[in-house]
Amino acid sequence: MGRKPRTSPFQKHGVLVLNKPSGPTSTDCLNSIKREFKQYKIGHAGTLDPLAEGVLLVMLGQATKLGPYLTGHDKVYTGSLSIGRSTDTYDIQGTETFTGDISEITEKMVESEIFAWNDLTSQEVPAYSAAKHKGKPLYELARKGEETPVKIKSIEIFDAEPLEVSLPMARFRVGCSAGTYIRSLVHSLGSRLGCGAVMESLRREESRPYRLSEAHKLDEVLADSDGFEARVIPIADALPHWHRFTVSESLAANIKNGARIKVEDVCPDQKDIIEGERAMILETDGTALALMETKSFDERLFWVILRGLWG
């Protein structure tokens, strides 16, 4: 028989916007919160490399059900790179694999290559990454010296721009689709220049819909047990970019039974609701009931359940 998951009377249900420090892994940060506050049901939406810092969305309790709806959103980063060498991990924490001559490289060339990120639609996944091959993370294969398969993924880049270039260093800002490897962007820049490049630092400024200005530093969270609950965003408020509607007790009962609900019964005043829109549905006491999406059946629009949140 499988081991029964641990439960805690102190378990919170909501989202903690964490300002992850550079150094520990995302899992290390979650384990610290789990141990300190007995938050045994915990997860994160969109991991950050150990070197990286910034916005890490921590999901607690029932809010772990929100994972698919928080991980897929655009991200915004600022960071720095240096040209003239490459490493196996594409950042300064890896083993050096190449050094290149930068005597012919100009600041304008580096600026141009950063702007060129905006035209990229795909990238190579780093060998040292958590991407899976036959059920195993690529980094496990790489650390054992085994050959890692080349994986190409589709990406979307927007607003990539240089912030400051002073050779051999450059600072940049980039917005991108979820799952984009900024290390790979830096590596590709070095390859195009022919001299190599590595990522020196990285900060996630946004994991939409949340920004760094809303995030709490890990050390401050861990040092303030009395204030922990106040830092957790309730599930009902955790998707601020979605519609929010409150339903009657009778409609709530129907939703819990899996019924689809006519759009006008949930939001009679919303005449501009179209197919494919999503909403956080609340019970009369304000607690989260379900995530729902509009779909058309027999030329009528209904709310259907994406994920139940009751219980």
pLDDT tens digits for range 232-258: 999 999 999 999 999 999 999 999 999
pLDDT by residue (tens digit) across 83-138? Answer: 999 999 999 999 999 999 999 999 999 999 999 999 999 998 876 656 555 566 55
Catalytic residue among 28, 49, 91, 219: 49
Q: Which domains, from first to last, does the chain contain?
A: 14-72+210-236 (3.30.2350.10), 75-207 (3.30.2350.10), 242-308 (2.30.130.10)
265 is catalytic: no
Of residues 77, 36, 33, the one with CA closest to residue 58: 33
* This prediction's pTM: 0.90
The rounded Cα 259 to chain-centroid distance in angstroms is 32
Please identify every stretch of the chain with a pLDDT value under 70, giving residue numbers as ranges. 1-5, 127-150
Quote the pLDDT of residue 8.
Answer: 85
Quote the pLDDT of residue 2.
Answer: 56
Quote the pLDDT of residue 133.
Answer: 52
Quote the pLDDT of residue 152.
Answer: 84
Q: CB burial class (10 A; 0-12, 13-18, 19+) of residue 103?
A: exposed
